[in-house]
Structure formats: structure tokens, C-alpha cells
Amino acid sequence: MPDYQIAPSILSADFARLGEEVDNVLAAGADIVHFDVMDNHYVPNLTIGPLVCEALRKHGVEAPIDVHLMVSPVDRIIPDFAAAGATYITFHPEASEHIDRSLALVREHGCRSGLVFNPATPLSYLDYVLDKVDMILLMSVNPGFGGQSFIPAALDKLRAARALIDASGFDIRLEIDGGVKVDNIAEIAAAGADTFVSGSGIFGKADAADPNRYDGIIARMRDELARVGSV
């Protein structure tokens, strides 16, 4: 079985109790903290920046933090997120004037780099930079908001991205973001994803007996992933 990783998106967490919410999903078995950065410019919403990333590290979060930049431009803010403790920094190619330079900047600052593809953005942006990315993130919704429905065309795009990665021989994670739930995660994994962002699908589904526990929902996702190959 591939090394499947579950990445709760804190966009759907209770921000007034963010440290505790992150502790709780990690205690339930999540692997990565997905951190959505929006600027009310590249996307029509505004969220959190490096100070919050740093606060999570100071709070004691040791898991990888997966910073998804939905901002333009990107270069000014990359070093700040690296200093704040980001593990991955991914950005949308349309948001950078110089994609190759921005990817190099992420690695120069000690982080793992990635490109993010909106539903209508072609994978051809990868043609000359595949050696410079550690993560390919495919959006299965249009970026800006949690709680949207999964766009089915993302499945074919996942298969295409998986073929590219396998043919390249590079060690690149394939992440999917948007509308990922218990009932579609197996199909998404079968299409080639190995890293699963889920916001409302996790933070909206705390254990019935204890709203601070996410063990049930994470276990159900893992059970679904365990049956991939037999679907």
C-alpha cells in the first residue's frame, strides 16, 4: 500500500481553539497539518499568515505543516513561512511571475516545494520543473473556500499526474484538495493520490460522544484507504 497521508485543513477548524484542534486531529492519527493561506487578492477570502504557523510550532506541533499559498505574489512571503516552521510550501503557478525561481526559493529556505493546479490549470506547467517539486497539489474545487463539492474531472487529472510522477522517477507526493470525504477518498486514492487534504470532511465530523475527538473519522478514512486496490 502506498504511504497514504491524511492532511486535515485547518480552514475548517475552530480558530479560537486552533492549537487544541490541531493537537486533537494529530492525536487521532492525522499525518500533516494543511495550512491554507488566502490574501483576498489571488482568491476572494482572507485567512492566516506566518505568525499563526509560528504559533502552532511554539504550541508544540511537530507534525509537518503543509503551507498552501493562495496569494500573489509569492516570493516575498516564502522566507517568512520557512522561518515560521513550514515543512512544505506550495503555490499556484499563475500567482508567480517566475515559477522556476519561486520553486528554488522554497528549497533554498529549507522547505519542500510544490505547485498547485486549479481545476482548469494544465499540468504542462510541470514540463520543465519536475526536478524542482516535492509535491504536486491538484485542486478538486476552485480555491478560496472550504465545504465545496469535489469536481469529478480531478480524477482523470490525478491519473495523468500519477503517470507523470511514475515516469519521472522523482520522489514527488501527489496531493488532492477539495471536497474529500470518507465516501470518495478510496476512489481518489485509486486514481493516484497519496496525500489527502480534508477540511469540512474531518473538522465537521468529530466523534459524536466527544466533539474534541476525531478518532472515528480518521479511522474511517484509513479503513477506506486500506481497501484501495480491491475497489
Q: Is 47 in the site for ligand DX5 (CB under 6 A)?
A: no
Compute φ and ψ for 21, nearest 5 degrees.
-60, -45
Instruction: Give least dist CB 146 to Zn ion, A.
Output: 9
Residue 96 contacts which entry, ligand DX5, Zn ion, none (Cβ below 5-8 A, type-dependent): none
With 0-12 / 13-18 / 19 or more C-beta atoms within 10 angstroms meaning exposed / middle / buried, residue 35 is buried
Q: How far is the CB of 139 from Zn ion (least distance, A)?
A: 8
In the complex, the smallest distance separating the C-beta of residue 196 from ligand DX5, rounded to whole angstroms, is 9
Tell me the C-alpha distance between 66 and 32, whole Å: 7
Q: Least distance from C-beta 191 to ligand DX5, angstroms?
A: 17
Span between the terminal Cα atoms of the chain, in Å: 13
Single out the catalytic residue among 31, 66, 134, 177.
177
CA neighbor of 196 nearest in space, from 31, 47, 48, 67: 31
Interface with ligand DX5, residue 144, by CB under 6 A: yes
Residues 231, 224: Cα–Cα separation, whole Å = 10
The verdict on 114 binding ligand DX5 (CB under 6 A) reads: no
The stretch among 21-29, 84-92, 105-113, 192-200 that binds ligand DX5 (CB under 6 A) is 192-200
Measured from the CB of residue 209, what is the shortest distance to Zn ion in angstroms? 29
Taking CB under 6 A as the criterion, the residue among 50, 93, 192, 201 binding ligand DX5 is: 201
Q: Which stretch binds ligand DX5 (CB under 6 A): 84-92, 126-134, 196-204, 217-225?
A: 196-204
Asked if 184 touches ligand DX5 (CB under 6 A), the answer is no
> Residue from 6, 180, 182, 191 that binds ligand DX5 (CB under 6 A)?
180
Whether the CB-CB separation of 198 and 181 falls below 8 Å is answered with yes
Show the site string, 2-31: x = touches ligand DX5 by CB under 6 A, - = not. Answer: -------x-xx-------------------
Position of minimal CB gap to ligand DX5: 199
Provide the binding-site residues for ligand DX5, judged by CB under 6 A: 9, 11-12, 34, 36, 68, 141, 143-148, 177-180, 197-201
Which residues are known to be catalytic? 36, 177
